[in-house]
């Protein structure tokens, strides 16, 4: 059976054969230049995952690892059909939208005494319990609640049967290898198998599997069981926000046909040629940005391979997209409803 290309090789292959999405080399250099000083800031570091985001666990513990596992199991499809009508979750007197509405809902459930991060609980959650735990504080529900219910039951059951109910057991089995941990996640948990076919070649993105590895690295502060020496093997997490910010910054470009389609609000489907190109080119574009950044520092006599990687670049660009949403309004994101991102 033909194996899937890993995300990095998939991205390179897709970019080399792309018809609707283009990586702009001058734009890549421009973005690398823009980030040159940023990489020295705390936000562009593993510490920034905690210090910049109050909803993330702030301690190193097995419970924190299981929080990360639950959240990344459900880390998909938060965009709103209408900008004025959103799912919002109130937590500690603050309203959260998008991905943060999920984190807020998890923390709210824990505060209410619901053992939401326990596999033995979510393996048997009913749809009504899921609807209650992830309820919105507006009339707009969190998207894909039935899918989230199925994924929770399936993932919780597997975590109990194969890893004693704790994701930390799975982390330990990786032997401190990010690449091995991605492999373990994809092999054991079906909902993380974010794969497709492009021009007859099997390609993979593994957005949620890779962000789960990255967030595990971050919550463990890159130490102990989370000391992944090969963290640079992980690519950016190809979703619907990162491509938007790359186009906004000029590092990537859409064909007129594709931009017209996106501006009209047409939905793409998982595995569509254009959807695959958007995701693949985004990954490869960010690989080139990282490489160019490393080269810029190398010319200054500095080896920054410990401080520059796709994980930290993704974290930075994702926060940049959130903070510059108004500036990016002219660039549409690709609309898709699926469990992969």
pLDDT digits (tens, 9 = 90+) for 146-186: 999 999 999 999 999 999 999 999 999 999 999 999 999 99
Of the candidates 110, 105, 102, the residue with the CA atom closest to the CA atom of residue 91? 105
pLDDT digits (tens, 9 = 90+) for 293-325: 999 999 999 999 989 999 999 999 999 998 998
Please answer whether residues 117 and 165 qualify as being in contact, where contact means their C-beta atoms are separated by less than 8 angstroms. Answer: no
Mean per-residue pLDDT, 222-251: 96
Share of the chain above pLDDT 90, in %: 95
Please answer whether residues 145 and 134 qualify as being in contact, where contact means their C-beta atoms are separated by less than 8 angstroms. Answer: yes
Which is the catalytic residue, given 72, 194, 215, 239? 239
- Give residue 43's pLDDT: 83
Mean per-residue pLDDT, 37-63: 93
Does position 211 have pLDDT exceeding 70, yes or no? yes
Mean per-residue pLDDT, 264-284: 96
Please answer whether residues 222 and 46 qualify as being in contact, where contact means their C-beta atoms are separated by less than 8 angstroms. Answer: yes
One-letter-per-residue 3-state SS of 312-324: HHHHHHHHHHHHC
Mean per-residue pLDDT, 15-33: 98
Q: Which residues fall within 8 angstroms of residue 16, CB to CB, at 6 or more apart?
A: none
Does position 1 have pLDDT exceeding 80, yes or no? no
Q: pLDDT class for 241, splitting at 50, 70, 90?
A: very high
The predicted model scores a pTM of: 0.95
pLDDT digits (tens, 9 = 90+) for 179-210: 999 999 999 999 999 999 999 999 999 999 99
Does position 94 have pLDDT exceeding 90, yes or no? yes
Please answer whether residues 235 and 8 qualify as being in contact, where contact means their C-beta atoms are separated by less than 8 angstroms. Answer: yes
- Return mean pLDDT, the chain: 96
- By DSSP bridging, strand 195-198 and strand 94-96 are unpaired
Per-residue tokens: 24: 């702009």
Calculate the dihedral angle through the C-alpha atoms of 328, 331, 334, 339, rounding to the nearest 10 degrees.
-10
Mean per-residue pLDDT, 14-42: 96
Q: pLDDT class for 2, splitting at 50, 70, 90?
A: low
Active-site residue, 72 included: no
Does position 144 have pLDDT exceeding 90, yes or no? yes
Per-residue tokens: 90: 């109130």
Does position 129 have pLDDT exceeding 60, yes or no? yes
* Gap between the Cα atoms of 186 and 236, Å rounded: 17
**CB neighbour burial string for 50-76, b if at least 16 within 10 angstroms, e if fewer:** beeeebbbeeeeeebbbbbbbbbbbbb
């Amino acid at each position: 059976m033909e194996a899937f290309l890993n995300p990095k090789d998939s991205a390179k292959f897709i970019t080399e054969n792309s018809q609707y999405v283009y990586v702009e080399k001058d734009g890549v250099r421009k973005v690398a230049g823009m980030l040159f000083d940023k990489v020295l800031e705390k936000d562009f570091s593993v510490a920034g995952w905690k210090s910049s985001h109050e909803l993330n666990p702030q301690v190193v513990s097995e419970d924190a690892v299981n929080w990360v596992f639950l959240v990344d199991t459900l880390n998909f499809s938060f965009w709103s059909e209408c900008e004025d009508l959103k799912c919002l979750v109130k937590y500690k007197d603050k309203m959260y939208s998008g991905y943060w509405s999920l984190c807020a809902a998890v923390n709210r459930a824990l505060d209410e005494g619901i053992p939401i991060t326990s596999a033995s609980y979510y393996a048997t959650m009913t749809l009504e319990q899921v609807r209650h735990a992830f309820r919105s504080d507006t009339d707009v529900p969190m998207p894909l609640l039935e899918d989230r219910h199925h994924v929770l039951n399936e993932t919780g059951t597997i975590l109990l049967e194969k890893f004693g109910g704790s994701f930390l057991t799975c982390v330990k089995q990786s032997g401190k290898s990010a690449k091995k941990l991605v492999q373990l996640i994809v092999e054991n948990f079906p909902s993380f198998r974010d794969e497709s076919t492009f021009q007859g070649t099997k390609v993979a993105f593994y957005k949620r599997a890779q962000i789960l590895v990255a967030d595990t690295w971050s919550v463990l502060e890159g130490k102990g069981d989370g000391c992944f020496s090969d963290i640079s093997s992980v690519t950016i997490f190809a979703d619907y926000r990162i491509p938007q910010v790359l186009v906004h910054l000029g590092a990537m470009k859409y064909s007129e046909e594709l931009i017209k389609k996106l501006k009209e609000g047409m939905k793409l489907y998982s595995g569509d040629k254009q959807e695959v190109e958007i995701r693949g080119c985004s990954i490869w574009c960010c690989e080139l940005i990282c490489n160019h950044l490393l080269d810029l520092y190398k010319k200054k006599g500095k080896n920054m391979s410990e401080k520059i990687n796709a994980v930290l670049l993704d974290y930075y660009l994702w926060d940049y997209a959130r903070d510059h949403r108004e500036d990016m309004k002219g660039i549409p994101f690709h609309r898709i409803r699926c469990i992969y991102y």
